[in-house]
């Protein structure tokens, strides 16, 4: 059985550096970007009051990555169990490189030059993808290959972790497939099998096809909500929840699930996953608040963003 006590202790220590309710009230009261940067600076973020929103946004990500690096040092070989979280930055960086490449040939060369496991696995997935769907747009094929590689590596790394770790990855794959349906919308002409990512559990391909063929997005959300578990399904089915709030609601559902797991199995990995989810929520809400102030939204201390 994998030992988690040391990593959980480190996670608890790192959680003490997350913003508490009082700090959130202060940052929400900030009237503009300069005031928000001053408050973030007091909280330890590497920003100055005159920084632009892009610089402040990078500081938010730097803080998150710094905490993850500390946690990764304590995890050691156990990091393979958490590839879903700890390789997410690599995934985003590779996706940005692919989108910035001038054509398919350069994109493939960029992947080959990276010499990292995720990039190498993406090249393998891409070869198989274009053999089956040669007529699909090249950028779509590359991004789907990257997504498949990321999901496959996360699931392979989690399989020996036990204690519900593979289930977390399967749930994340289900949510990725659900988001893909909502992003594509009804009437798309992309083959469902080209979009669907293997490895989930609650959302099989047959249900994926049904939701993809729904009359509209609300109908698709009802189908998806019926198969996703617990608060995830409730959030997906809640048509009063606008699309721009759905991702946050799903993250809150993940937080609730990790809190339950931490109570039920405090010596398992749930405290580590809970920290990672809380960090993601903090970074998401700080970015939302930052750009709200940059666009002139008034302070509202009763809301996260």
Query: pLDDT tens across 12-70, in order?
Result: 999 999 999 999 999 999 999 999 999 999 999 999 999 999 999 999 999 999 999 99
pLDDT, one tens digit per residue, over 88-141 is 999 999 999 999 987 888 988 989 999 899 999 999 999 999 999 999 999 999
Residue 188: band (very low, low, confident or very high) from pLDDT cuts 50, 70, 90 = confident
The span from the CA of 15 to the CA of 281, in Å, is 12
What number of residues does the chain have?
A: 305
Q: From 1.10.405, 1.20.120, 1.25.40, 1.20.1690, which CATH number describes the 165-264 domain?
A: 1.20.1690
On whether the CB atoms of residues 89 and 77 are closer than 8 A, the answer is no
Q: What dihedral do alpha carbons 266, 268, 269, 272 form, nearest 10°?
A: 30
Instruction: State yes or no: pLDDT of 305 exceeds 50.
Output: no
Mean residue pLDDT across the chain:
93
Q: How many degrees, rounded to 5, is the angle at CA 10 between CA 6 and CA 13?
A: 140
Strands (E), the chain: none
What residue spans define the domains of the chain? 165-264
């Amino acid at each position: 059985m994998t030992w988690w006590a040391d990593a959980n202790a480190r996670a608890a220590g790192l959680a003490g550096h997350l913003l508490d309710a009082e700090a959130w009230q202060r940052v929400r009261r900030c009237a503009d970007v300069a005031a928000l940067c001053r408050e973030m600076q007091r909280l330890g973020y590497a920003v100055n009051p005159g920084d632009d929103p892009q610089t402040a946004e990078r500081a938010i990500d730097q803080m998150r990555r710094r905490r993850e690096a500390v946690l990764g040092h304590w995890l050691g070989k156990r990091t393979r169990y958490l590839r879903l979280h700890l390789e997410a930055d690599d995934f985003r960086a590779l996706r940005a490189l692919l989108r910035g490449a001038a054509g398919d040939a350069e994109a493939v060369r960029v992947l080959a030059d990276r010499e990292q496991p995720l990039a190498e696995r993406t090249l393998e997935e891409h070869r198989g993808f274009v053999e089956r769907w040669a007529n699909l747009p090249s950028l779509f094929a590359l991004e789907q290959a990257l997504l498949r590689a990321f999901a496959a590596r996360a699931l392979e790394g989690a399989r020996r972790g036990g204690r519900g770790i593979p289930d977390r990855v399967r749930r994340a794959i289900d949510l990725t497939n659900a988001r893909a349906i909502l992003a594509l919308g009804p009437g798309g002409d992309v083959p469902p099998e080209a979009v669907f990512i293997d490895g989930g559990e609650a959302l099989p391909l047959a249900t994926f096809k049904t939701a993809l063929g729904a009359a509209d997005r609300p109908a698709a959300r009802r189908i998806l909500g019926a198969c996703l578990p617990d608060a995830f399904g409730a959030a997906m089915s809640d048509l009063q929840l606008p699309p721009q709030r759905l991702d946050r609601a799903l993250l809150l559902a993940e937080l609730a699930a990790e809190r339950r797991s931490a109570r039920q199995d405090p010596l398992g990995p749930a405290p580590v996953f809970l920290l990672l989810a809380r960090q993601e929520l903090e970074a998401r809400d700080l970015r939302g608040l930052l750009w709200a102030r940059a666009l002139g939204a008034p302070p509202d201390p009763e809301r996260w963003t």
